[in-house]
Amino acid sequence: MNQNGSVLLLSMLVLLMASLIAVSSVSISTQETKIAANEKAATIVFFQADAGIAPGIQVLLDSIVNKSVASYPALTWTPESLNGGQNIFLDEVMGVSTSDNRGFNFSTPNNGGITTSVRMKRNMATTKSTGGSTEFGSGYEGVGYGSAGGVIIYYFVRSSASDPNGSRSSLETEYRKVIRVGGGK
């Protein structure tokens, strides 16, 4: 029996199988690279959104203490925070008006085009604080020590970030501000 052609045929089948394995390996590697890049982008956007919470709370606190937002001229205020060029964010903080859209946008240098938007809303419901600072984890908070108590005002701070490729992330926290009322030292 003549087997001269069978070696050639067997060699061609082995070469075909090796080529299929190589092509599928390249395809899998390309997909894994894309997945890793998307995961990295999502992580960066998440941390950028997370980085918006602290400045949001700082702007909120400064607005309460100073009764002004003038100390933040570098922030790009959202159109909903402006009325005829006048910043009405302070009205939201002080409870004069409420909206879901009061806040500002900011970006950090070399952030790859990521846009961060921080929005704040005052919850018009307040509660009375009847305990001492130990009830608030001994955070003292400047109020609530002894039995004087105070009024707790709740604010919602939402930070959202997105990049040019469509990765998006949002975080929201509730911030509690205790205003002292009553006697005590």
Q: What is the pLDDT of residues 137-147, one digit of tens each?
A: 544 444 444 44
Number of domains comprising the chain: 1
Q: What is the pLDDT of residues 42-80, one digit of tens each?
A: 999 999 889 888 888 888 888 887 777 767 666 777 777
Q: What DSSP character marks residue 111?
A: S
Q: Is there a domain that residue 93 lies in?
A: yes
The residue written with tokens 């999502």 in the block is 42
Q: Is there a domain that residue 11 lies in?
A: no
Q: What is the pLDDT of residues 33-45, one digit of tens each?
A: 999 999 998 999 9
Q: Is there a domain that residue 80 lies in?
A: yes
Q: Is there a domain that residue 170 lies in?
A: yes
pTM over 0.75: no
Q: Is there a domain that residue 4 lies in?
A: no
Contact 98, 124 (CB under 8 A): yes
Distances (CA, A) of 164 to 31, 132, 147, 159, 168: 21, 48, 53, 17, 10
